[in-house]
C-alpha cells in the first residue's frame, strides 16, 4: 500500500522532484491553509506541524521537520506525548552557516561595514580603520552548541588557524576538531577565554536566555559575539548595552527572538552590529541536502531501518 506524504513547507521545493524516485509513496504538495484537506489521509508529514494537524491526522506516523531547529515542539504538547516519530534536517545547514559565521567575523575584523559606509559617502580615510583591523589567525573561537552547526563552523575556523573551545549539553571527549567539548556548566569559563563567541545551539527550555546580561559581561571587551542558530538564546538588550558601553568589540546577529525584527528593536541602531535577516542557512546546496535527507529517510522508513536525525521530543533536539 502506498504511503501518503504531505509536503507543506517550501524548504527545498526546487528539489522535491528527487522524491519521485522513491517507489511506494504518493507525494502531495500543499499550502499550510490546505493541510486540513489532506491531513486525514496523511501518513508522513514534511514541514512544521501544529496541534491541529495532530488532531486531524489519525494515520500520521512520522513528521520530517523541514528545518534543523524543532522548537515548535514546545507549542505542540500532543506531539511530545504521542508515538509520532519526529526527525529533522540536522547536517544540511552546517556548510552555509559555517561560511556565514566567518563572513560576519571577517566583516567585523576587516572593517567592511565602515568601509562600505565611506564608499556610500565617497569618503576615503584609513586612519582608525587601518590601525584597528585584526587577523583572525590565532584568535580563540568559543562555540555554544557543538552539534552539526557547531562542527560546520569549527571546521572552517580551524582552516583559518583559529583556536577552538566549545560547550554543549552533551560533553564529548576526543573530538577531532578540538580536544574536548565542555559541559554547559563551563560556559562562563569559555566566554572569558574566547575572542569570538558563536551561538549555534538549538532553542530549548534549557538554552532560552542562556546568554543573559551576566553571561555577556563575562565575555572579553575586545571580543566578538555571533548568533546564527536561533533567537531567544541571547538577551538582545544586554548585547546592545554591551555594544553601547564598549564592552564588546562587535556583534553579528542573523537570528532574533522575534522575526521579522520589529522596527522598535534597539538592535537596528546598535553600534558595531551587523544584522542579517536569517540568511545563514541559505544556499541552493543546502536546499538539496534537506530533500536528500528526507529522501534517504523515506527509503529507510519503508525498509524498516533506523531513521536519520531522530529528535528527542522531550528535549527538543
Catalytic residue list contains 230: yes
In 3D space, the residue among 294, 19, 302, 60 whose CA is nearest the CA of residue 28 turns out to be: 19
Of the residues 41, 125, 180, 259, only one is catalytic, namely 259
41 φ/ψ angles, rounded to the nearest 5 degrees: -105, 10
Distance between CA atoms of residues 44 and 15, nearest Å: 18
- Residue 131 cell numbers, joined: 590601525
Catalytic residue, candidates 110, 186, 217, 278: 278
**Exposure string for 21-40, b = 16+ CB within 10 A, e = fewer:** ebeebebebbeeeebeebbe
Residues 117 and 141 sit within 8 Å (Cβ to Cβ): no
As a whole number of angstroms, the distance between CA 255 and CA 20 comes to 34
> What are the helix and strand counts (H, E) for the chain?
11, 13
User: CB neighbours of 94 closer than 8 A, spacing ≥ 6?
Assistant: 148, 149, 151, 152, 153
Please tell me which residue in 156, 230, 236, 289 is annotated as part of the active site: 230
H, E, C per residue of 238-304: HHHHHHHHCCCCEEEECCCCCCCCCCCCHHHHCCCEEECCCCCCCCHHHHHHHHHHHHHHHHHHHHC
Q: Is 278 a catalytic residue?
A: yes
The phi, psi pair for 207, rounded to 5°, reads -105, -10
Residue 293 backbone dihedrals phi, psi, to 5 degrees? -65, -45
Distance CA 15, CA 289 (A): 9
CA 90 to chain centre: 10
Cβ contact 7:28 at 8 Å: yes
**Contact present, 40 and 58 (Cβ < 8 Å):** yes
Catalytic residues: 230, 259, 278
Amino acid at each position: 500500500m502506498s504511503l501518503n506524504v504531505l509536503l507543506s513547507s517550501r524548504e527545498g521545493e526546487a528539489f522535491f522532484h528527487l522524491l519521485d524516485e522513491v517507489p511506494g509513496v504518493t507525494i502531495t504538495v500543499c499550502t499550510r491553509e490546505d493541510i486540513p484537506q489532506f491531513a486525514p489521509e496523511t501518513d508522513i508529514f514534511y514541514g512544521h506541524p501544529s496541534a491541529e494537524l495532530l488532531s486531524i491526522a489519525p494515520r500520521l506516523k512520522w513528521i520530517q521537520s523541514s528545518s534543523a531547529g524543532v522548537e515548535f515542539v514546545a507549542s505542540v504538547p500532543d506531539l511530545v506525548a504521542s508515538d509520532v516519530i519526529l526527525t529533522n534536517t540536522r547536517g544540511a545547514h552546517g556548510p552555509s552557516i559555517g561560511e556565514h559565521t566567518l563572513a560576519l567575523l571577517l566583516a567585523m575584523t576587516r572593517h567592511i561595514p565602515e568601509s562600505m559606509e565611506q564608499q556610500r559617502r565617497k569618503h576615503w580615510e584609513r586612519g582608525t580603520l587601518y590601525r584597528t583591523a585584526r587577523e583572525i589567525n590565532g584568535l580563540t573561537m568559543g562555540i555554544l552548541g557543538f552539534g552539526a552547526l557547531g562542527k560546520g563552523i569549527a571546521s572552517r575556523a580551524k582552516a583559518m588557524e583559529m583556536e577552538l573551545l566549545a560547550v554543549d549539553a552533551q560533553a564529548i571527549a576526543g573530538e577531532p576538531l578540538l580536544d574536548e567539548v565542555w559541559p554547559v556548566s563551563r560556559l562562563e569559563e569559555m566566554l572569558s577565554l574566547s575572542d569570538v563567541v558563536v551561538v549555534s545551539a538549538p532553542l530549548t527550555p534549557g538554552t532560552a536566555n542562556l546568554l543573559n546580561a551576566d553571561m555577556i559581561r563575562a565575555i572579553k571587551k575586545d571580543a566578538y559575539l555571533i548568533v546564527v542558530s536561533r533567537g531567544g538564546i541571547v538577551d538582545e538588550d544586554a548585547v546592545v548595552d554591551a555594544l553601547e558601553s564598549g564592552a564588546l568589540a562587535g556583534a553579528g546577529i542573523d537570528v532574533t527572538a522575534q522575526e521579522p525584527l520589529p522596527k522598535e528593536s534597539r538592535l537596528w541602531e546598535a553600534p558595531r552590529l551587523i544584522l542579517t535577516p536569517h540568511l545563514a542557512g541559505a544556499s541552493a546546496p543546502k536546499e538539496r541536502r534537506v530533500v536528500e535527507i528526507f529522501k534517504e529517510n523515506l527509503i529507510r522508513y519503508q525498509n524498516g531501518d533506523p531513521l536519520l536525525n531522530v529528535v528527542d521530543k522531550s528535549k527538543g533536539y
